Protein backbone atom coordinates (compact mmCIF):
# COMPACT_ATOMS: atom_id res chain seq x y z
CA UNK A 1 0.00 0.00 0.00
CA UNK A 2 1.75 3.16 -1.20
CA UNK A 3 0.43 5.88 1.06
CA UNK A 4 3.55 7.47 2.56
CA UNK A 5 5.09 10.86 1.76
CA UNK A 6 1.80 12.52 0.84
CA UNK A 7 2.02 16.11 -0.42
CA UNK A 8 1.41 18.70 2.27
CA UNK A 9 -1.28 20.45 0.26
CA UNK A 10 -3.10 20.22 -3.05
CA UNK A 11 -5.32 23.26 -2.43
CA UNK A 12 -3.25 25.83 -4.34
CA UNK A 13 -3.20 24.30 -7.83
CA UNK A 14 -6.66 22.80 -7.40
CA UNK A 15 -8.39 26.07 -6.43
CA UNK A 16 -6.54 28.05 -9.11
CA UNK A 17 -7.78 25.60 -11.73
CA UNK A 18 -11.30 25.47 -10.26
CA UNK A 19 -11.65 29.26 -10.32
CA UNK A 20 -10.93 29.12 -14.03
CA UNK A 21 -13.16 26.20 -15.06
CA UNK A 22 -16.03 26.19 -12.55
CA UNK A 23 -19.46 26.00 -14.15
CA UNK A 24 -22.24 28.40 -13.04
CA UNK A 25 -24.46 25.64 -11.68
CA UNK A 26 -27.76 26.90 -10.21
CA UNK A 27 -26.98 25.75 -6.66
CA UNK A 28 -23.60 27.49 -6.79
CA UNK A 29 -25.15 30.87 -7.64
CA UNK A 30 -26.95 30.95 -4.27
CA UNK A 31 -25.42 28.34 -1.93
CA UNK A 32 -28.08 28.57 0.78
CA UNK A 33 -28.47 25.49 3.03
CA UNK A 34 -31.79 24.50 1.44
CA UNK A 35 -30.49 24.74 -2.12
CA UNK A 36 -27.20 22.99 -1.34
CA UNK A 37 -29.03 20.20 0.51
CA UNK A 38 -31.52 19.72 -2.33
CA UNK A 39 -28.76 19.62 -4.95
CA UNK A 40 -26.62 17.17 -2.99
CA UNK A 41 -29.51 14.75 -2.51
CA UNK A 42 -30.35 14.92 -6.21
CA UNK A 43 -26.70 14.46 -7.20
CA UNK A 44 -26.46 11.15 -5.33
CA UNK A 45 -26.11 8.51 -8.09
CA UNK A 46 -27.16 11.05 -10.76
CA UNK A 47 -25.21 13.09 -13.31
CA UNK A 48 -25.08 16.89 -13.01
CA UNK A 49 -26.63 17.42 -16.46
CA UNK A 50 -29.64 15.31 -15.48
CA UNK A 51 -30.10 17.04 -12.12
CA UNK A 52 -30.17 20.67 -13.33
CA UNK A 53 -33.71 20.72 -14.83
CA UNK A 54 -35.12 18.70 -11.92
CA UNK A 55 -33.49 21.05 -9.43
CA UNK A 56 -34.96 24.11 -11.13
CA UNK A 57 -38.46 22.60 -11.38
CA UNK A 58 -38.32 21.43 -7.77
CA UNK A 59 -37.34 24.90 -6.56
CA UNK A 60 -40.15 26.45 -8.57
CA UNK A 61 -42.64 24.11 -6.87
CA UNK A 62 -41.08 24.24 -3.39
CA UNK A 63 -39.08 27.48 -2.98
CA UNK A 64 -38.40 26.81 0.71
CA UNK A 65 -38.00 23.91 3.09
CA UNK A 66 -41.32 24.88 4.71
CA UNK A 67 -43.17 24.54 1.42
CA UNK A 68 -41.53 21.19 0.74
CA UNK A 69 -42.46 19.97 4.22
CA UNK A 70 -46.09 21.01 3.70
CA UNK A 71 -46.42 19.20 0.36
CA UNK A 72 -48.07 15.75 0.18
CA UNK A 73 -45.55 12.96 -0.32
CA UNK A 74 -47.32 11.79 -3.48
CA UNK A 75 -46.80 15.23 -5.03
CA UNK A 76 -43.10 15.15 -4.15
CA UNK A 77 -42.71 11.66 -5.64
CA UNK A 78 -44.50 12.78 -8.80
CA UNK A 79 -42.11 15.72 -9.26
CA UNK A 80 -39.19 13.34 -8.65
CA UNK A 81 -40.46 10.98 -11.35
CA UNK A 82 -37.71 10.01 -13.78
CA UNK A 83 -34.84 10.92 -11.46
CA UNK A 84 -34.76 7.43 -9.93
CA UNK A 85 -33.72 6.13 -6.52
CA UNK A 86 -37.03 7.22 -5.01
CA UNK A 87 -35.91 6.61 -1.43
CA UNK A 88 -34.08 9.92 -1.87
CA UNK A 89 -37.38 11.72 -2.43
CA UNK A 90 -39.01 10.09 0.59
CA UNK A 91 -36.02 10.94 2.79
CA UNK A 92 -36.00 14.48 1.39
CA UNK A 93 -39.62 14.92 2.44
CA UNK A 94 -39.01 13.39 5.89
CA UNK A 95 -35.94 15.57 6.43
CA UNK A 96 -37.84 18.72 5.40
CA UNK A 97 -40.54 17.96 7.96
CA UNK A 98 -37.92 17.28 10.63
CA UNK A 99 -36.20 20.61 9.91
CA UNK A 100 -39.50 22.49 10.05
CA UNK A 101 -41.16 20.66 12.95
CA UNK A 102 -38.16 19.99 15.20
CA UNK A 103 -35.55 22.59 14.25
CA UNK A 104 -37.60 25.70 13.65
CA UNK A 105 -36.96 25.64 9.91
CA UNK A 106 -33.18 25.97 10.26
CA UNK A 107 -30.75 23.36 8.98
CA UNK A 108 -28.03 22.12 11.36
CA UNK A 109 -24.65 23.67 10.56
CA UNK A 110 -22.43 20.78 11.70
CA UNK A 111 -21.68 17.39 10.17
CA UNK A 112 -23.03 15.65 13.27
CA UNK A 113 -26.26 17.62 13.23
CA UNK A 114 -26.81 17.14 9.51
CA UNK A 115 -26.28 13.39 9.77
CA UNK A 116 -29.27 13.22 12.11
CA UNK A 117 -31.51 14.08 9.15
CA UNK A 118 -32.91 11.25 6.99
CA UNK A 119 -30.95 10.52 3.83
CA UNK A 120 -27.78 12.36 4.87
CA UNK A 121 -24.56 10.41 5.30
CA UNK A 122 -21.01 11.52 5.94
CA UNK A 123 -20.32 12.71 2.39
CA UNK A 124 -23.54 14.72 2.02
CA UNK A 125 -23.14 16.20 5.49
CA UNK A 126 -19.60 17.30 4.65
CA UNK A 127 -20.75 18.88 1.41
CA UNK A 128 -23.57 20.86 3.05
CA UNK A 129 -21.50 21.89 6.08
CA UNK A 130 -18.59 23.13 3.97
CA UNK A 131 -20.46 24.70 1.04
CA UNK A 132 -23.43 26.25 2.85
CA UNK A 133 -21.84 27.02 6.23
CA UNK A 134 -18.11 27.32 5.51
CA UNK A 135 -17.24 24.51 7.92
CA UNK A 136 -13.94 22.67 7.53
CA UNK A 137 -15.65 19.35 6.80
CA UNK A 138 -14.05 16.79 4.45
CA UNK A 139 -15.86 14.69 1.90
CA UNK A 140 -15.07 11.60 -0.14
CA UNK A 141 -17.04 10.16 -3.06
CA UNK A 142 -16.23 7.94 -6.02
CA UNK A 143 -14.66 10.78 -7.98
CA UNK A 144 -12.47 11.77 -5.04
CA UNK A 145 -11.38 8.17 -4.45
CA UNK A 146 -10.29 7.86 -8.07
CA UNK A 147 -8.33 11.12 -7.93
CA UNK A 148 -6.64 10.22 -4.63
CA UNK A 149 -5.83 6.67 -5.76
CA UNK A 150 -4.07 8.02 -8.84
CA UNK A 151 -2.50 10.98 -7.10
CA UNK A 152 -0.85 8.65 -4.57
CA UNK A 153 -0.56 5.61 -6.89
CA UNK A 154 -2.52 3.76 -4.21
CA UNK A 155 -2.27 0.04 -4.93
CA UNK A 156 -4.68 -1.38 -2.32
CA UNK A 157 -8.32 -2.33 -2.94
CA UNK A 158 -10.20 0.93 -2.39
CA UNK A 159 -13.37 -0.89 -1.33
CA UNK A 160 -11.84 -2.08 1.96
CA UNK A 161 -12.53 -0.25 5.21
CA UNK A 162 -8.81 0.45 5.71
CA UNK A 163 -8.54 2.08 2.29
CA UNK A 164 -11.70 4.09 2.84
CA UNK A 165 -10.31 5.37 6.14
CA UNK A 166 -7.10 6.42 4.37
CA UNK A 167 -9.10 8.35 1.77
CA UNK A 168 -10.93 10.26 4.49
CA UNK A 169 -7.63 11.03 6.25
CA UNK A 170 -6.23 12.54 3.08
CA UNK A 171 -9.42 14.52 2.51
CA UNK A 172 -9.13 15.98 6.01
CA UNK A 173 -5.37 16.57 5.88
CA UNK A 174 -5.54 18.46 2.58
CA UNK A 175 -8.70 20.47 3.37
CA UNK A 176 -7.72 24.14 3.90
CA UNK A 177 -9.24 26.35 6.58
CA UNK A 178 -9.84 29.00 3.93
CA UNK A 179 -12.52 28.28 1.29
CA UNK A 180 -13.33 24.72 2.43
CA UNK A 181 -16.55 24.65 0.41
CA UNK A 182 -14.82 25.73 -2.78
CA UNK A 183 -12.03 23.23 -2.15
CA UNK A 184 -14.51 20.37 -1.74
CA UNK A 185 -16.28 21.32 -4.96
CA UNK A 186 -12.93 21.68 -6.70
CA UNK A 187 -11.90 18.26 -5.41
CA UNK A 188 -14.80 16.62 -7.23
CA UNK A 189 -14.18 18.38 -10.54
CA UNK A 190 -11.06 16.51 -11.79
CA UNK A 191 -12.89 13.19 -11.42
CA UNK A 192 -15.80 14.53 -13.46
CA UNK A 193 -13.81 16.38 -16.11
CA UNK A 194 -10.32 14.94 -16.61
CA UNK A 195 -9.49 12.13 -14.16
CA UNK A 196 -12.21 9.93 -15.64
CA UNK A 197 -12.46 6.16 -15.14
CA UNK A 198 -11.25 5.49 -18.69
CA UNK A 199 -8.85 7.50 -20.84
CA UNK A 200 -7.98 10.20 -18.26
CA UNK A 201 -6.79 13.48 -19.78
CA UNK A 202 -3.72 13.87 -17.59
CA UNK A 203 -2.33 16.81 -19.58
CA UNK A 204 -5.36 18.88 -18.54
CA UNK A 205 -5.28 17.92 -14.84
CA UNK A 206 -4.15 20.55 -12.30
CA UNK A 207 -2.60 17.79 -10.15
CA UNK A 208 -0.52 16.28 -12.97
CA UNK A 209 2.82 17.67 -11.67
CA UNK A 210 2.44 15.79 -8.37
CA UNK A 211 0.47 12.74 -9.58
CA UNK A 212 2.36 9.53 -8.88
CA UNK A 213 0.24 7.33 -11.13
CA UNK A 214 0.94 9.68 -14.04
CA UNK A 215 4.64 9.53 -13.18
CA UNK A 216 4.63 5.73 -13.00
CA UNK A 217 2.22 5.16 -15.91
CA UNK A 218 -0.31 3.31 -13.74
CA UNK A 219 -3.39 5.50 -14.30
CA UNK A 220 -5.26 2.74 -16.12
CA UNK A 221 -5.02 0.35 -13.15
CA UNK A 222 -5.92 2.85 -10.43
CA UNK A 223 -8.02 2.68 -8.40
CA UNK A 224 -7.78 -1.02 -7.56
CA UNK A 225 -11.18 -2.62 -6.97
CA UNK A 226 -12.24 -6.19 -6.42
CA UNK A 227 -14.35 -7.56 -9.23
CA UNK A 228 -18.04 -6.99 -8.60
CA UNK A 229 -20.34 -9.98 -8.36
CA UNK A 230 -22.56 -10.45 -11.43
CA UNK A 231 -26.03 -8.97 -11.15
CA UNK A 232 -28.80 -11.54 -10.71
CA UNK A 233 -31.44 -11.67 -13.45
CA UNK A 234 -35.13 -12.30 -12.74
CA UNK A 235 -38.20 -13.02 -14.83
CA UNK A 236 -41.21 -11.05 -13.63
CA UNK A 237 -44.92 -11.25 -14.45
CA UNK A 238 -47.18 -8.21 -14.08
CA UNK A 239 -50.96 -8.14 -14.45
CA UNK A 240 -53.20 -5.49 -16.01
CA UNK A 241 -56.31 -6.24 -13.94
CA UNK A 242 -59.58 -4.98 -15.38
CA UNK A 243 -62.73 -4.89 -13.26
CA UNK A 244 -66.20 -5.52 -14.61
CA UNK A 245 -66.81 -1.75 -14.73
CA UNK A 246 -63.73 -1.29 -16.93
CA UNK A 247 -61.48 0.23 -14.28
CA UNK A 248 -57.86 -0.91 -14.04
CA UNK A 249 -56.38 -1.84 -10.67
CA UNK A 250 -52.91 -0.77 -9.58
CA UNK A 251 -51.03 -1.41 -6.33
CA UNK A 252 -48.72 0.72 -4.23
CA UNK A 253 -45.25 -0.66 -3.59
CA UNK A 254 -44.14 -1.07 0.06
CA UNK A 255 -42.58 2.12 1.38
CA UNK A 256 -39.45 0.38 2.66
CA UNK A 257 -38.52 -1.37 -0.60
CA UNK A 258 -37.11 -0.46 -3.99
CA UNK A 259 -39.23 2.22 -5.71
CA UNK A 260 -41.14 2.40 -2.42
CA UNK A 261 -44.43 4.27 -2.44
CA UNK A 262 -44.80 4.23 -6.22
CA UNK A 263 -47.77 2.69 -8.02
CA UNK A 264 -47.52 -0.26 -10.40
CA UNK A 265 -49.37 -3.04 -12.11
CA UNK A 266 -49.06 -5.82 -9.50
CA UNK A 267 -46.95 -8.93 -9.98
CA UNK A 268 -43.64 -10.40 -8.95
CA UNK A 269 -40.67 -12.66 -9.61
CA UNK A 270 -41.00 -16.06 -11.20
CA UNK A 271 -39.91 -18.98 -9.03
CA UNK A 272 -38.04 -22.06 -10.27
CA UNK A 273 -40.24 -24.44 -12.24
CA UNK A 274 -43.13 -21.97 -12.35
CA UNK A 275 -44.87 -20.64 -15.44
CA UNK A 276 -45.35 -16.89 -15.69
CA UNK A 277 -49.12 -17.37 -15.51
CA UNK A 278 -48.77 -19.37 -12.27
CA UNK A 279 -46.31 -16.77 -10.98
CA UNK A 280 -48.82 -13.98 -11.54
CA UNK A 281 -51.66 -15.85 -9.84
CA UNK A 282 -49.47 -16.67 -6.83
CA UNK A 283 -48.11 -13.13 -6.45
CA UNK A 284 -51.57 -11.56 -6.58
CA UNK A 285 -52.88 -14.05 -4.05
CA UNK A 286 -49.93 -13.46 -1.67
CA UNK A 287 -49.69 -9.68 -2.02
CA UNK A 288 -53.29 -8.60 -2.56
CA UNK A 289 -55.31 -11.64 -1.46
CA UNK A 290 -57.19 -11.75 -4.75
CA UNK A 291 -57.73 -14.42 -7.36
CA UNK A 292 -57.61 -13.66 -11.07
CA UNK A 293 -58.09 -15.31 -14.42
CA UNK A 294 -54.96 -14.75 -16.48
CA UNK A 295 -55.71 -13.84 -20.08
CA UNK A 296 -53.59 -13.17 -23.11
CA UNK A 297 -50.41 -11.13 -23.17
CA UNK A 298 -51.17 -7.42 -23.23
CA UNK A 299 -50.92 -5.75 -26.63
CA UNK A 300 -47.50 -4.14 -26.83
CA UNK A 301 -46.72 -5.79 -23.50
CA UNK A 302 -44.14 -8.29 -24.66
CA UNK A 303 -41.06 -9.10 -22.67
CA UNK A 304 -39.14 -5.99 -21.58
CA UNK A 305 -35.63 -5.90 -20.06
CA UNK A 306 -35.06 -3.48 -17.15
CA UNK A 307 -31.54 -3.07 -15.68
CA UNK A 308 -31.30 -1.89 -12.06
CA UNK A 309 -28.31 -1.09 -9.85
CA UNK A 310 -28.15 -4.48 -8.14
CA UNK A 311 -30.22 -6.72 -10.42
CA UNK A 312 -31.95 -6.93 -13.79
CA UNK A 313 -35.50 -8.00 -14.58
CA UNK A 314 -37.30 -9.18 -17.71
CA UNK A 315 -40.98 -8.30 -17.37
CA UNK A 316 -43.97 -9.78 -19.20
CA UNK A 317 -47.37 -8.09 -18.91
CA UNK A 318 -50.61 -10.11 -19.06
CA UNK A 319 -54.26 -9.07 -19.09
CA UNK A 320 -56.19 -10.36 -16.07
CA UNK A 321 -59.67 -10.14 -14.64
* pLDDT greater than 60 at residue 309: no
The answer to whether the CB of 296 falls within 8 A of the CB of 318 is yes
pLDDT, residue 317, reads 64
Does domain 11-221 match CATH 1.10.340.30? Answer: yes
DSSP state letter for 224: B
Q: Which of 151, 131, 152, 127 is nearest to 140 (CA)?
A: 127
C-alpha to C-alpha distance for 310 and 66, rounded to whole angstroms: 35
**Confidence band for 2, pLDDT divided at 50, 70 and 90:** very low
Q: Is 40 part of the annotated catalytic residue set?
A: yes
Strands (E), the chain: 233-242, 248-249, 251-252, 263-264, 267-269, 294-297, 304-307, 312-320
Q: Residue ranges per domain, the chain?
A: 11-221, 233-320
Q: Which CATH number fits domain 233-320: 3.40.50.20, 3.40.50.1970, 3.90.79.10, 3.10.310.30?
A: 3.90.79.10
C-alpha to C-alpha distance for 229 and 33, rounded to whole angstroms: 38
* pLDDT greater than 50 at residue 1: no
Give tens-digit pLDDT for 139-166.
999 999 999 999 999 999 999 999 999 9
Give the HSE-up count for residue 274: Cα atoms under 13 Å, Cβ half-sphere: 17
Threshold 0.95, pTM exceeds: no
Nearest-10 Cα torsion for 202, 164, 113, 120: 70
Q: Which of 40, 189, 287, 296 is catalytic?
A: 40
Average pLDDT along the chain? 90
The answer to whether the CB of 39 falls within 8 A of the CB of 31 is no
List the Cα angle 196/25/211 in 5-degree steps. 30
**Confidence band for 223, pLDDT divided at 50, 70 and 90:** very high
pLDDT, residue 292, reads 80
pLDDT, residue 313, reads 57
Amino acid sequence: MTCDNAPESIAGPLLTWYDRVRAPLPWRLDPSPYRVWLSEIMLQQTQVETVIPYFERFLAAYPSVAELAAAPLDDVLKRWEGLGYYARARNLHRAARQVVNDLGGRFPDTVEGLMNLPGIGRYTAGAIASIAFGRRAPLVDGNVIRVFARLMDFDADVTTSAAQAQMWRWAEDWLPADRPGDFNQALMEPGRRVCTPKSPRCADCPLRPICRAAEHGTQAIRPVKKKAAPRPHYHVAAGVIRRADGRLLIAQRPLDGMLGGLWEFPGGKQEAGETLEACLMRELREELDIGVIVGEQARGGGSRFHPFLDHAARVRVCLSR
